[in-house]
Copies of this chain bind each other. A is one copy, B any other.
Amino acid sequence: MTGNICGERFVVATFGESHGKCIGAVVDGCPAGLALTEEDIQRDLDLRKPGQSIVTTQRKEEDLVEIMSGTFNGRTTGAPIMMIIMNSEKDSRPYEVLKDTPRPGHADFTARIKYGGFNDYRGGGRFSGRITASFVMGGAIAKKLLRETLGIEIMAYTVELGGLRARGFTEEQVRERYSNEVRCPDPTVADEMKRRVVEMRGKGDSLGGVVECTAVNLPVGLGEPVFGSLDSDLARMALSIPAAKGVEFGSGFEGSRMTATQNNDQYYLEGGKLVSRTNNSGGILGGLSNGMPLRYRIAFKPASSIAAKQKTVDLSKNAEVDLVVPGRHDPTVVPRAVPVVESVTALVLADHAMRAGMISPVLKQ
């Protein structure tokens, strides 16, 4: 399969560019009978859209989604669901200067070579973070499907931003994750994070961070080892998010410094059900969900577009030049990545639940 399509049984085909006419997705394989309207999708898109707060870019985008096919009388029909956002008019002139001078940290150089210079470079084109709106469209359907059939809830939240780490938080605080601008469930650290973002914006620089995702109520046995194991597919989708540079499950990299007596999760019975005291596995054993909460983290690099002067090469002249990237920039992508992480998690879980026959192709009326 080609690169812009993901999934085996709950499939999302994405399309659109930053400065093109639209952004959208086609979902194929969604069961028939799911109640679905634009509101279900718009809610998640609104969490992703820029211009919402001081910690994100000041660009305004309306991002109103329209469902173009696949529903009838307010429910999915089993046919492909096409969703689209029309892009608003954008000023692409500033990008002309970037045509031959690839921005450090961006795909400008690699895309130019791969596509022989035919790629749409305006606003990063197909490599813009804007394409994650497609992930959110598909993810919103997947989330609703998982919730209504299996009771699965997916919550992502910022646990690190600019080196500041959330120290501790309750499940309740996780549920309220969207109540602060950095989407961090630890309110004290959230304030510090926000201050650091504002400070960094002032300097024309940017920050990275780490988003954690927890999903509860997973049945045991999601995943198709070995290459379609649950962690394999989550990792694949995690790294498909622009700016993601790492992923770890459960104790992850820290766990690699423990011994097995420290890291192995000991089993016991709770209400007649096998559970474990710790969750260093992140809810995955042998590539299969084990019934404990799924927990994993994604590392995001500092947003590559910054106001500071940088070094690059003018490829039309083969000469080293200084570059100042025009436009308004995100001082960090982390808060906006939070709903995107939830979306890709939902896509993987919905796909695997369908592969495992745990969600019927027709929902009860």
Contacts and interface: CB of A to CB of B under 8 A. Distances in A.
A293 interface: no
Nearest to A334: B256
A267 B312 contact: yes
Contact of A79 (B120, B162, B248, B313): B120
A326 interface: no
A272 B318 contact: yes
Interface string A201-241: 00001111110000000001101111111011111111110
A312 to B, nearest CB: 4
Interface string A37-53: 00000000000000000
Contacts of A4: 26, 28, 79-80, 225-227
Interface in A1-30: 1-9, 11, 13-17, 20-22, 24, 26, 28-29
Contacts of A209: 256
Given A111-B286, A235-B235, A118 B1 contact: no
Given A2-B11, A299-B253, A304 B264 contact: yes
A105 interface: yes
A118 B225 contact: no
Interface stretch (A69-77, A141-149, A166-174, A180-188): A69-77
B286 A224 contact: no
Interface in A57-84: 68-70, 72, 75-82, 84
A24 B105 CA distance: 35
B224 A82 contact: no
Interface string A346-365: 00000000111100111101
Interface in A280-319: 280-282, 285-290, 299-306, 308, 310-313, 315, 318-319
A14 B119 contact: no
B311 A77 contact: no
Contacts of A162: 257, 259
Nearest to A288: B110
A200 interface: yes
Contacts of A3: 28, 223-229, 287
Chain A's interface size range is 35 or more
A79 B245 contact: no
A163 interface: yes
A198 B115 CA distance: 51
A245 B255 contact: yes
A363 B9 CA distance: 21
Given A77-B126, A160-B257, A226 B72 contact: no
A75 to B, nearest CB: 5
A260 B227 contact: no
A88 interface: no
Contacts of A263: 105, 208, 301-302
Contacts of A310: 264, 266
A300 B233 CA distance: 18
Contacts of A210: 253, 256
A353 to B, nearest CB: 11
